[in-house]
Chains A and B, each alone.
Chain A
Amino acid sequence: MTTAVDTAPAPAAPSPAPAGGGRPRRRLLRGEGSGAPLLVLPTVVLLGIVIVYPVVRGVWMSFQKDPGLDKATGMFVQGGTAGFSNYTHWLLQQCAVASGGTTPCPSGNLGAEFWVAVGVTVFFTVASVSIELVLGMWFAMIMHRSFKGRGLLRASVLVPWAIPTAVTAKLWFFIFDYRGVANRLLGTHLLWMGDAWPARFAVVIADVWKTTPFIALLLLAGLQVIPDEVYEAAKMDGASAWQRFTRITLPLVRPALVVAVLFRTLDVLRIFDLPWILTGGGGGSGHATTTLSILVVQQIRQGFSSAAALSTITFLLIFAVAFVFVKFLGANVAGTPEEGR
């Protein structure tokens, strides 16, 4: 990731003003553009410090070895370079052996949990995002249709979003306690945070509660752009409600939908607060809700370099997903105007 900033002067000649009529296009007035680098310089420097530097240093750290114990003195000494061994530790589950080789990581070692964590993270992502989408779309349509109580609706929708995630997690921790209100209302005796699947669903439920309203808002904005006439025309043509939904609503709301899905997916892939506070990454045999981010934090207590490698892997994974979204699903994240809009 380089900080690419233009150092050559911007073109001196302004582009010509548009001929009359048609969409007004952005015009470069004389001198415009030359001040731009100065305007963006503070941002570039700041981003360099808070993002570029830590990432670069993190990658550098991931190629170092964690301190090892010198058997003679009983003291830890700095490890040297590790090559790719930190990466193979996670990706290929190879753990070091005293004689110098490697062996598949045994259970009880954090390395053995990598692929489980990937699975858990993917599960959370798929479950949360799909539920939030469906429910969010439903909420959006309800909000779109109702004229009374707009204020109350908007308030109800913003409250879950406004509550800090840590507080949300503690609230649901209380609700899901063995003696808590969830078990009482449902008449169950589930160990919500103890058993594997209840714990996973506890996390999903808390996340869905918090974020569905936000998705609903995004989709509502997309819905509000669709003119009523289109629906009227379709109704007169005899289209059923389902047909109107699938042939008109969905395609027209698609851009908003895809962006919402992209951002939510990336958010859940990075999820930490909710599972950490709700279950500590535990549940089931102890790692039913350990996501990649939680695994990194657990590894930090045992060795920085290995943790750095794992966070780099996480980071690349998330980028890959974003790339797929932007390239293949056409997520219009830069907000650049599309043709024909």
Chain B
Amino acid sequence: MAVMTAPSRAAGVARRRTRNRNVRTFAGVALIVLWGLAPAYWMVVTAFRRVDYTFETSPWPTHVTLANFRTAFDTGLGNHFARALVNSLVVGAVTTALAMLVGVFCAYALARLQFRGKYVLLGVILASSMFPPVALVTPLFQLFTDLHWIGTYQALVIPDLSFALPLTIYILTAFFREMPWDLEEAARIDGCTQGQAFRKVILPLAAPGLFTTAILAFIAAWNEFLLSSELSSDRTQPVTVAIASFAGSQPHQEPYTAVMAAGTIVTVPLVLLVLLFQRRIVAGLTAGGVK
């Protein structure tokens, strides 16, 4: 908004309008940043605060201590947080791997190929992602107790696949659809079989999309609570269930600071992961949603 000649009223008004808009935008940005970060910040501050000052309201880090983190990992109270972390990692990784392995081929077929029953399959996949997980609990519980699988990892991976697989396929299909045909055709013309074209041309190109999808699937599996709380034993409890049922040193007591510490431990790597790949994640999240 350059002023060319002597300042005219219109230009002044325009400048003020811009300034107002900038101020409003700045205020809006501040609001969004506060919105997203303030509660999370509160969790971290509390995690570092001494237990006696649990309900202290100062926003600055006061009464700092590392004791809560020690308490979070302390198995003397019956919490097995470290084991829960391992469980979440294993279940998340296996679920993601399986979902990707199976989903990538299906997504390719859905995006590129025509076959009878394609729309039925699409419908089923879509329907699966709209599914209430609670409907799976009772039958799976019966099945897993019959198979003596309660307290095993498969009892957690299988229900997680019920949403991880449709999610993977949904996002990957969107990614595959966006990819240009030319390279693939060129490869085919050059004599590659379909499989080779897929492996040598499509997969490398889709790598970023695959990577993003894997992250999203992993986060979804990590996040799961309902099915895990009903189908896991305390040996295979993932981190979400462990945090929800953290025991304090007194019976019937809620150990807030320790729970905040545990929450921080769980959140920080996730947030780092998400921040590192924010562009890709946003792209992945919106790939299916906006077409």
Contact = CB atoms under 8 A, between A and B. Distances in A.
B115 A33 contact: yes
Nearest to A265: B130
Interface residues of B, number: 103
Contacts of B290: 218, 221-222, 225, 255-256, 259
Interface of A: 1, 3-6, 8, 10, 24, 26-29, 31-33, 35-37, 39-40, 42-44, 46-47, 49-51, 53-55, 57-58, 61, 138-139, 142-143, 145-146, 149, 151-167, 169-172, 174-175, 177, 179-181, 184-185, 209, 212-214, 216-218, 220-222, 225, 255-256, 259-260, 263, 266, 269-270, 272-273, 276-277, 292-293, 296-297, 300, 304, 307-308, 311-312, 314-315, 318-319, 322, 332-337
Given A142-B32, A181-B57, A300-B137, A162 B267 contact: yes
Nearest to B177: A335
A37 to B, nearest CB: 6
Most buried by A among B43, B108, B124, B134: B134
A29 B185 contact: yes
A217 to B, nearest CB: 6
23 contacts: A43-B105, A44-B121, A47-B125, A51-B131, A51-B162, A54-B143, A55-B136, A146-B25, A146-B29, A151-B278, A155-B275, A162-B267, A162-B274, A167-B243, A172-B39, A217-B282, A217-B286, A273-B226, A304-B138, A314-B135, A318-B131, A322-B130, A333-B126
Nearest to A294: B134
Contact of B36 (A47, A55, A156, A319): A156
Contacts of A50: 136, 158-159, 161-162, 165
B278 A158 contact: yes
Given A146-B29, A220-B286, 6 more contacts: A158-B281, A272-B226, A273-B240, A311-B132, A311-B137, A314-B134
- Considering the complex of A and B, which 5 residue pairs feature the smallest CB-CB distances, nearest first? A156-B36, A6-B116, A142-B28, A166-B240, A43-B106
A259 B101 CA distance: 27
Contacts of A185: 57
Interface stretch (B6-14, B67-75, B200-208, B256-264): B256-264
B165 A1 contact: no
A163 B266 CA distance: 8
B86 to A, nearest CB: 16
Contact of A270 (B31, B55, B132, B174): B132
Contacts of B33: 149, 152-153, 156
B4 interface: no
A213 B36 contact: yes
A43 B158 contact: no
B30 to A, nearest CB: 10
B270 A145 contact: no
Nearest to B265: A167
Contact of A58 (B138, B169, B194): B138
B266 A307 contact: no
A190 to B, nearest CB: 15
Contact of B40 (A32, A54, A160): A160
B39 A296 contact: no
Given A43-B103, A50-B158, A270-B133, A164 B239 contact: yes
A165 B161 contact: no
A24 B159 CA distance: 40
B149 interface: no
A28 B103 CA distance: 22
Contact of A28 (B114, B159, B225): B114
A36 B289 contact: no
Contacts of A36: 109, 113-115, 118
A307 B138 contact: yes
A39 to B, nearest CB: 4
A244 to B, nearest CB: 14
A40 B106 contact: yes
B61 to A, nearest CB: 15
Given A167-B240, A171-B42, A174-B46, A318 B117 contact: no
B259 A4 contact: no
Nearest to A1: B124
Interface in B18-55: 21, 25-26, 28-29, 31-33, 35-37, 39-40, 42-43, 46, 55
B78 interface: no
A278 B108 CA distance: 41
B120 interface: yes
Given A158-B281, A164-B267, A184 B57 contact: yes
A32 B115 CA distance: 9
A152 B35 CA distance: 12
